[in-house]
Amino acid sequence: MRGTIRTLLVAGLVTVCGAGWLAAQDGGAVELGAFGRFTSFDDELALKEGFGGGGRLGYFFINNLQLELTGSYTKQDREDRLGDLHHMPVYGRLVYSLPMGDRLALLIGGGGVFNSYTEGADDFGANGLLGFRYALSDIASLRLEGLADYMPSPKVGDTNLNWGIQIGLSAVMGGRAPDADGDGVADDVDACPGTALGETVDARGCALDSDNDGVTNMRDQCPNTPQGAPVDANGCPRDSDRDGVADYQDRCPNTPAGVAVNEAGCPPDADGDGVPNAADRCPNTPQGAPVDANGCARDSDGDGVADYQDRCANTPSGATVDANGCPLDGDGDGVFDGIDQCPSTEAGTRVDATGCPVLFEEAVTTVVLEGVNFETNSADLTAQARTVLDRVAGSLRGNTEVRVEVGGHTDITGTRAYNLQLSQARAESVMAYLVQQGVSADRMEARGFGPDNPIADNGTRAGRALNRRVELRRTDQ
């Protein structure tokens, strides 16, 4: 018999499981229902299985959990055929509906049972329930369940265990409207169904954000943020550079860490040059003067005169300038003081880029040093010769790439041997003087040619004067 009951239970459950899904039952709902019942009695009661019917009344005091009362009636035939017996059980139990989808729910219940029999063999026991509910509509549902009644101290026998199967229809009515997020706004009108627990919501079920900064009131630590101000996760105005001035008010949004700022978020700048006081090495720069990164007046040409005062803005590097920033040229040779290697060149002297007299014209490698003369039959330089050699030394100092041979020459007066010796001594005397004036000795070579290379007629006084000379020959080309 018990095998038959199990078969019927399994078949019924399979039938219902294929039907669909059931929504959760809401707190406050009332269930009314009727059902048909099949009961199998404990063998000690000597009662045949029987069919009957009953009704139920249930109340969902919270979602999915209800207290229900059921009663049923079954007319029984006794196995000893001594007459009919009426079975009227009354149940009080808690039943939990475990949702398994939109329409189907698993029912698990337990409570007490009072068995009443017509012959007065009443007894009390415990009851367990396992079944399914399938929603046919918003109100009507089909219930199929199996029951077990355990009687620990029955009137007949030591213990009784009765089995039952019930199938019937129920109507579930009323109840509070579903509110999945518990915000007080029913799910069917809740525009924000996932509101966090504890949030204050508007009529649409959405969390309130009084200052419209994107952070709800419950999380907003700065509830009065001005409209449009960027905020952090706590709803407070963002301060990206952490200077104490909010981004929406900060006119200097990239202030370095630790720098004091004014109410506009900018480091103080007493002279208004755009460089904060903390970094300004020249804190009293005149208003409007262009400055460098250190706050000092800019001097683009590096002449020591600030641009805002400089009337000659493109002075060559190294040139000496006046108070207006314009280059000085003491000897008037067109090469500015400070870069003039020969700052005392005589007026009218043709000079090179260093300000020194030009010794070698283009394509010319040998020059006669006019005015470089010696005392008679001597290698001693005259005063005029020293003046000439001063200019020569300046030119050589300014043109360090030039290397020269100092050549001494004589006329034919006297013996050749004497003239060779005299011309060598004179060449060495010139070279020694140039060294004294700062020309490196390793750039020069002294050589005496005597009377061997005349440039004029030795038969005349004028010719012999021209042949007595000192020449510079360029040797680096």
Instruction: Return all residues near 79 (Cβ < 8 A) that are at least 6 apart.
Output: 46, 47, 48
Degrees (nearest 5) of the Cα angle 353, 402, 429?
115
The torsion region of residue 450 among left (phi > 0), alpha (psi -120 to 50) and beta comes to left
Average pLDDT along the chain = 85
The one-character DSSP state at 78 is B
pLDDT at 81 over 60: no
Average pLDDT over residues 330-350: 79
| Residue boundaries of the structural domains of the chain | 2-174, 366-474
Task: Please give the CATH architecture assigned to the domain spanning 366-474.
Answer: 2-Layer Sandwich (3.30)
**Radius of gyration over alpha carbons of the chain, in Å?**
61
Cβ neighbours of 190 (radius 10 Å): 21
Q: Which position has the higher pLDDT, 320 or 447?
A: 447
Strands 404-409 and 104-117: unpaired
Query: Is domain 2-174 given the CATH code 2.40.160.20 in the classification?
Result: yes
Considering only 65-69, 200-204, 338-342, 419-423, which range has the smallest mean pLDDT? 338-342
DSSP for residue 125: E
pLDDT digit string, tens, across residues 156-193: 778 999 999 999 999 999 876 667 777 777 777 888 88
If one counts every other C-beta atom within 10 angstroms of the C-beta of residue 40, the result is 18
122-136, 199-213, 267-281, 314-328: the lowest-pLDDT one: 267-281
> Which range, 74-83, 259-268, 384-393, 436-445, has the best average confidence (pLDDT)?
436-445
Q: Taking the CB of residue 108, how many other CB atoms lie within 10 A of it? A: 15
Which of the residue ranges 298-302, 405-409, 457-461 would you say has the lowest mean pLDDT?
Answer: 298-302
Query: In the predicted model, is pLDDT for residue 465 greater than 80?
Result: yes
Mean pLDDT confidence for 43-59 = 90
pLDDT score, position 20: 34
Classify residue 271 as exposed, middle or buried by CB count within 10 Å of its CB (0-12, 13-18, 19+).
middle
Residue 418: band (very low, low, confident or very high) from pLDDT cuts 50, 70, 90: very high
Of 56-70, 115-129, 395-409, the range with the lowest mean pLDDT is: 115-129
pLDDT: which is higher, 200 or 104: 104
For 84-102, what is the mean pLDDT?
A: 90
Q: Is the pLDDT of residue 102 over 60?
A: yes
Is the distance from CB of 3 to CB of 152 less than 8 angstroms? no
CA–CA separation, 388 vs 158, rounded Å?
150
Residue 5 has pLDDT above 50, yes or no: no
Percentage of residues in the chain with pLDDT exceeding 90? 41
- Structure confidence by residue, pLDDT tens digits, 354-384: 777 777 777 788 999 999 999 988 999 999 9
Q: For residue 37, what are the contacts with CB-CB under 8 A and spacing of at least 6?
A: 51, 52, 53, 54, 72, 74, 164, 165, 166
Q: CA 172, CA 33: separation in Å to the nearest integer?
A: 9
Mean pLDDT of 122-148: 95
Q: Work out the average pLDDT over 95-118.
A: 92
Read off the pLDDT band of 14 (50, 70, 90): very low
Check pLDDT > 50 for residue 145. yes
Decide: 135 and 103 in contact? Cβ < 8 Å: yes
Residue 463, burial from CB neighbour count under 10 angstroms (0-12, 13-18, 19+): middle
Burial class (CB in 10 A: 0-12, 13-18, 19+), 287: exposed
The pLDDT of residue 1 is: 45
pLDDT at 136 over 60: yes
Least confident window among 49-63, 302-316, 349-363, 367-381: 349-363
Tokens of 138: 């918003």
User: Angle 383-398/416-436 helices, nearest 10 degrees?
Assistant: 60
The whole-number pLDDT of residue 10 equals 42
pLDDT greater than 70 at residue 4? no
Distance of alpha carbon 416 from alpha carbon 432, whole angstroms: 24
Per-residue confidence at 11, pLDDT binned at 50, 70, 90? very low
Arithmetic mean of pLDDT, 37-50: 87
The CB-side HSE value for 167 (13 A sphere, CA atoms) comes to 10
Q: What is the pLDDT of residues 277-301, one digit of tens each?
A: 877 788 888 888 888 888 888 888 8
Inter-residue contact 194 to 181 (CB < 8 Å): yes
Range scoring the smallest mean pLDDT among 10-24, 159-173, 359-373, 453-467: 10-24
